[in-house]
Amino acid sequence: MAQGAQLSIRQRAARVLPGGTFGNVSGDLVIVRGSGSRVWDDEGREYIDYLIGSGPMLIGHAHPEVTSAVRSQLEAGTTFFASNPEGIALAEAIIDAVPVAEKVRFTSTGSEADAFAMRLARAHTGRPKILKFEGGYHGYSDYALMSLAPKTSGNSPRPIPDSAGIPDTVRDTILVAPFNDAGAVESLLKEYRSEIAAVFLEPMQRLIPPQPGFLAALRELTREHDVLLVFDEVVTGFRLGMGGAQEYYGVVPDLCTLGKVIGGGFPLAAIAGREDIMAAFDSDQAGTGRFVPQVGTLSGNPVAAVAGLATLDVLSRPGTFGRLFDTGRRLMTALEDILAANGVEGRVVGEPPLFDVVFTKGTVSNHRDMLAGNTAMLKRFNALLGENGVLKADSKIYVSTAISDDDITRTIAAMDVAISRLARDCVAGLLP
């Protein structure tokens, strides 16, 4: 232990972690504290935070109402492997807010929720295949890691595994279509109608909003072909509004998954949906051939539940989402203006609570368009923002309600510096 204490924190990480990281962001970043809209690293650098824990800290770090709720619950116990009032109250809050939610089942992670939602769809329909979209992220199960990040286009309808260790047979259970292409979906539904259990998608895929009419077309097509429509709202749930993307875009699926925001910074996710489909989780269904067993040691634990309840209470207050969207719009507009002023080709893609720049001159409507983006420029942009006190994910800017007017001013200034430097580097031939 004494020897370890003499090493830097990054050296210690390299000794015990593959690649020296948790597998999330670069091991060069070690965060030690967060408060409101800011985080601090182990070397004392302060950042305006648009990473927000990859999304869950929508109302900011260490929010006093969340902290107070968690402290009170810690005194009453942390987990029981049994139903508890706090988890039941959170389920009630989800049902009150989310259009499709008639019943709720908790898990600990979004990956779990997505994997169970796929299994639930198969159990309900008795069919083996899931139709998903190129570039769509649905966690890290074998079934989800299909064409999440294909490096070439044209891998539809047969997917490309994104990881070693996935059996070849899994590929036979997944079909893939380009996002925002209802015609491709219709063709696959007609060809594989008797085999497809569900069309499974992020209604806003990573950064890419659905084109007008796309989600409505999916709703009509899935009903026509007796296929379930499942929205992965782990990211968009309670971020685009209290009712999530299904309320924001006006299309209600048959099932959805939720995560990130509903745990208030603690591990918690959920499957929510129509009562007749969710009934397969009921142990009374055992022996019927429809039962889907689902057990999790920490599922619905009261600490995460009270953090989620406090977070949803803050979000539900009048004007909260209006301010969140206004903040995002100001940042998006400023970034577009800065790109234009510096002659840098780029598209600001997303919705106000979640967006980023894609360095391309073309439109961005699916993963194939994303592949055309200049990743070297994006990586340099991110690094320059970090040098100027703004922290973001590799390909996302998550806006929180904690962002202040001063934060916006400083962020725009940092964007201006970063894009101006990119323009000079491009002229000098330092970037492709």
345 and 323 in contact (C-beta within 8 Å)? Answer: no
Give the residue among 196, 180, 257, 264 at the shortest CA–CA distance from 228: 196
CB within 8 A of 72, min separation 6: which ones? 306
Catalytically active residues, by annotation: 137, 232, 260
Query: Residue 43 region, left (φ>0) first, then alpha (ψ -120 to 50), else beta?
Result: alpha
- Quote the Cα angle for 334-335-337, to 5°: 65
16: number of Cβ within 10 Å: 8
90 and 264 in contact (C-beta within 8 Å)? Answer: no
Angle between the 375-387 and 405-427 helix axes, to the nearest 10 degrees? 130
d(CA 410, CA 413): 5
Cα–Cα separations (whole angstroms), residue 176 to 1, 117, 186, 316, 322: 50, 17, 12, 36, 36
